[in-house]
């Protein structure tokens, strides 16, 4: 499912990619603000998210990346800058897009992008072997779903819920927990795709791109705050010019936390300032 928000006059095009166990409609408020700034906003639900079935099944990270590249190419215009904004797992897909098509767009904005995890490659191999041997691709993996969330929430002092790591804003956390379209289980196959995607986009010197990257992170984000320099190093090795900004009173979901207005304005200003790359079209 894809939502398009089109202003009367299109000056920028923005592809907004949501995160893991998330969905596009949570971003409509911010998307409408982008629309008011004359941005054509494209919001897809990733495979296995929103109304896309089967739920929690990505069906191959390379295939999902290819679909997103097709979506970009379908909506590109010669004289209009194109920007990708990706949050969390959505930021990994944004990085995967630019790895496959290094100068496809004019700016990448990454929110809460995960850094390399040494265990990811091993887990992908073992879980893929298990799936092939026992045909368990569509089985929900309750242990990994629990373990990943647990490792993040363990870094929060005196948490009130299982997802306090998402944000300081309690209304946002409660809204996430109460939504049937958030926090659902990932399948074994989806975890294989996620781990492979994480490994793939964190390889150094595998392509060359002129596309600038804006890295945004909550200072208290247990997912990426301590390792953002590592992500920057990988991106720089592949030719990207990097700008970084951290938010002192935010955790993982900076677009829904207590500094959301600042985050929104920083993204809007970055989008308004971007120019078309000479070789991006």
75 has pLDDT over 80: yes
Pairing of strands 2-5, 39-44: antiparallel
pLDDT at residue number 104 = 95
Question: What's the gap between Cα 249 and its chain centre?
Answer: 20
> Parallel, antiparallel, or unpaired: how do β-strands 82-87 and 107-111 relate?
parallel
Q: 174 is in which domain, residue-wise?
A: 2-273
Does residue 268 lie within any of the structural domains?
Answer: yes
Does the residue 281 lie in any domain? Answer: no
Contact present, 136 and 239 (Cβ < 8 Å): no
Q: What is the pLDDT of residues 20-42, one digit of tens each?
A: 999 999 999 999 999 999 999 99
Report the C-alpha gap between 224 and 234 in whole angstroms: 14
**280 part of a folded domain:** no
In a domain, 54, yes or no: yes
pLDDT at 227: 76
Q: How confident is the model at residue 279 (pLDDT cuts 50, 70, 90)?
A: very low
- Report the CATH number that the domain containing residue 104 is assigned in CATH: 3.40.50.1820
Share of the chain above pLDDT 90, in %: 84
Torsion-angle region of 158 (φ positive above 0: left; ψ -120 to 50: alpha; else: beta):
left
The total number of structural domains that make up the chain: 1
Q: Does 227 or 108 have the greater pLDDT score?
A: 108
Query: Taking phi first (over 0 means left), then psi (-120 to 50 degrees means alpha), and beta for anything else, what does residue 21 get?
Result: left
Contacts of 148 (CB under 8 A, 6+ apart): none
**Residue 201 belongs to a domain:** yes
Mean pLDDT across the chain, nearest whole number? 93
Tokens of 53: 């079935």
| pLDDT at res. 118 | 86
Three-state DSSP at 70 gives helix
278 in any annotated domain: no
The answer to whether the predicted template modeling score (pTM) of the entire model surpasses 0.85 is yes
Q: Residue 277: its pLDDT value, please?
A: 59
Q: Does the pLDDT at position 230 exceed 80?
A: yes
The winner for highest mean pLDDT among 84-98, 134-148, 266-280 is 84-98
Helix H or strand E segment including 265? helix 260-273
User: With 90 as the cut, is the pLDDT of residue 134 above it?
Assistant: no
Instruction: Assess if residue 221 is contained within a domain.
Output: yes
């Amino acid at each position: 499912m894809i939502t398009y928000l089109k202003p009367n006059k299109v000056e920028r095009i923005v592809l907004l990619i949501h995160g893991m166990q998330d969905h596009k409609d949570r971003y409509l408020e911010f998307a409408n603000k982008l629309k008011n700034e004359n941005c054509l906003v494209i919001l897809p639900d990733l495979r296995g998210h929103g109304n896309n079935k089967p739920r929690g099944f990505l069906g191959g990270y390379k295939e999902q990346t290819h679909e997103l590249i097709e979506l970009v190419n379908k909506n590109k215009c010669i004289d209009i800058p194109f920007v990708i904004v990706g949050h969390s797992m959505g930021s990994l897909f944004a990085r995967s897009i630019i790895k496959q098509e290094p100068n496809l767009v004019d700016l990448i904005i990454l929110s809460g992008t995960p850094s390399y995890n040494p265990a990811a490659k091993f887990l992908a191999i073992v879980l893929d072997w298990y799936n092939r041997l026992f045909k368990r691709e569509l089985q929900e993996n309750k242990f990994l779903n629990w373990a990943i969330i647990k490792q993040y929430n363990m870094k929060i002092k005196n948490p009130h819920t299982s997802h306090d790591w998402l944000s300081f804003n309690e209304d946002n956390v409660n809204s996430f927990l109460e939504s049937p379209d958030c926090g659902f289980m990932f399948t074994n196959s989806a975890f294989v795709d996620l781990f492979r995607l994480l490994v793939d986009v964190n390889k150094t010197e595998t392509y060359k791109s002129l596309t600038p990257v804006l890295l945004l992170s909550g200072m208290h984000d247990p997912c990426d705050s301590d390792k953002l320099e590592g992500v920057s190093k990988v991106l720089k090795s592949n030719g990207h010019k990097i700008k970084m900004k951290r938010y002192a009173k935010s955790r993982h979901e900076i677009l829904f936390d207590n500094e959301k207005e600042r985050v929104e304005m920083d993204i809007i200003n970055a989008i308004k300032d971007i120019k078309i790359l000479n070789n991006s079209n």
